[in-house]
Amino acid sequence: MSGTRRTDEGHGRLGSKLSGLAVALGCVLFLGGFAWGAVVYQPYTVPTDSMSPTIVGGDRVLAERIDGSDIQRGDVVVFKQASWGNLPMVKRVVAVGGDTVACCTQGKLTVNGKKIEEPYLPKGTDAESSTIPSIEVPENRLFLLGDERSGSLDSTAHLTEAGNGTVPRSAVNARVDAVAWPMNGMLARPTGFETLGGISEPGPLRLVLTAVVAGAVLVLGGAAYGPIAKRAGRRRDRTGAKERALAG
């Protein structure tokens, strides 16, 4: 009987150590995930429907802090441009420096003479409600459009300005990875631009969320071990007492 008790006590000490280790590791993952996300990502509230249906007015998005030089075609970016009001705006990059952009050919946007498939546009609508003349995008600048083309104040509203409605890459603050509220998740990859070259890979948001969730599970599981172990121990003690009484 004493050997059994010692074994139970040994298991209890081991369980307590593992429980404490799980809580400690969980705290590291949980807090580390939040810290990582705070460093890499910045939340924005989108005020208008110019990016509908991808992002609608009032949506809360998570945008990865990124240098403008890393932006590629198809990216949804947050930027500020003095001639556009000098306020944070969210638009999609459809052409970069050296590209020639125009619209429309059979209802589709063309970049470097290639028609671009844009499944993120509202269903049944053309790529643009008005004509975009053939424009060569200057080096280190971006041509930007909203996904809701009929009501978006984008590059098409600034064609008469210097740069033909383009903005410098340096104006970009971040690239949108996901809609956090409502929880629509990660933005779909703009595969229609792949024929023109590479497109951006998503940021580390999935890894950040995995770390946070795994940390929470470890903390809760480790914290729950103590009460569960005590309850199990009391049950074993009662069972042992009954067996001793019957044996006596």
Which residues are catalytic, by number? 50
Contact 116, 192 (CB under 8 A): yes
Contact 64, 41 (CB under 8 A): yes
Q: How many CB atoms lie within 10 A of CB 195?
A: 12
**CA gap 174, 62 in Å, rounded:** 9
Please provide the DSSP assignment of 14-60 as one string: HHHHHHHHHHHHHHHHHHHHHHHHHHHEEEEE--SSTTTTTS-TT-E
Burial 52-69 (b: 16+ CB within 10 A, else e): bebbbeebebbbbebebe
Q: At what angle do helices 2-40 and 205-247 cross, to 10 degrees?
A: 170
SS3 call for 219: helix
